[in-house]
Amino acid sequence: MERTERNPIYSVELEKEFKISGAILRNIIRGFRRDGIPVANCHTGYYYAKSFKEMESTITDLEKRAFSMLETVSKLKKNFEKSQLELF
């Protein structure tokens, strides 16, 4: 059965099949992507993207999460620096 955005393989199916946790599955998917394997995701699961267009929503999602993480790091640094100044 071909896996597409309309017919992804559910994360829970992969976790059960390979007897791994969701965190481990996400790490494996991250590794695939870093190796250039176009594993796309949608709200319910994963599928192999055959074109850049199919990867666009996954890329956008990853960019939003990365920017959000950077914003969190920036706020933490600012708050820490502020608290350090208050010590003196």
Q: What is the pLDDT of residues 63-87, one digit of tens each?
A: 999 999 999 999 999 988 766 666 5
Nearest to 38 by CA among 26, 48, 25, 53: 48
Tokens of 85: 């100044």
Give per-residue pLDDT as tens, 9-49: 999 999 999 999 999 999 999 999 999 999 999 888 999 99
Residue found by looking up tokens 């350090």 in the block:
84
pLDDT at 87: 57
Q: What is the pLDDT of residue 88?
A: 52
Map residue 24 onto helix, strand or coil.
helix
Per-residue model confidence (pLDDT) at position 11: 94
Here the tokens at position 13 are 């199916």
Q: Using 50, 70 and 90 to split pLDDT, how confident is the model at 4?
A: confident
The CATH classification of domain 9-87, taken from the options 1.20.120, 2.30.30, 1.20.1440, 1.10.10: 1.10.10
Instruction: Classify residue 69 by burial, with Cβ atoms within 10 Å: 0-12, 13-18, 19+.
Output: exposed
Q: How many CB atoms lie within 10 A of CB 26?
A: 13
